[in-house]
Amino acid sequence: MEGVELISFQIISAVGSARSMYIEAIQLAKQGDIEGAEKLMKEGEAVFVEGHHAHAKLIQQEASGESSTITLLLLHAEDQLMSAEGFKIIADEMIDVYKRLISLESK
């Protein structure tokens, strides 16, 4: 396996792990572990960036004139990338809500 297939799998693996970390971070925040949630979000972001870099590599190849075959696998990788990015945004918002809730409950 090489080329677009390999990069697609790299994207899927990285952003899938990141998305799982974002979901777990929400669960930690729900349990009141804001510090753990924020730590997991940072770890997820680092893993997400790996997938983003792999994606950027494909874009750079195409911009330099190398044509890529669009496959279902590549489309799936793109979908997973966007899904993980959406989960990050939602997780950030949910953690903020749980922080506020914890703060209000402690008063």
2 neighbors 72 (Cβ within 8 angstroms):
no
- Distance from C-alpha of 45 to C-alpha of 14, rounded to nearest angstrom: 10
% of residues, the chain, pLDDT over 90: 81
* Catalytic residue check, 76: yes
Q: d(Cα 65, Cα 73) in Å, to the nearest integer? A: 21
Residue 29: C-alpha distances to residues 12, 15, 32, 80, 89 (Å): 26, 21, 5, 24, 15
- Residue in 52, 53, 55, 76 annotated catalytic: 76
Residue 24 pLDDT exceeds 60: yes
Residues 6 or more apart in contact with residue 54 via CB below 8 angstroms: 7, 10, 11, 14
pLDDT digits over 43-81, tens only? 999 999 999 999 999 899 889 988 878 889 999 999 999
The pTM (predicted TM-score) of the whole model is 0.90
What structural domains does the chain harbor? 3-105 (1.20.58.80)
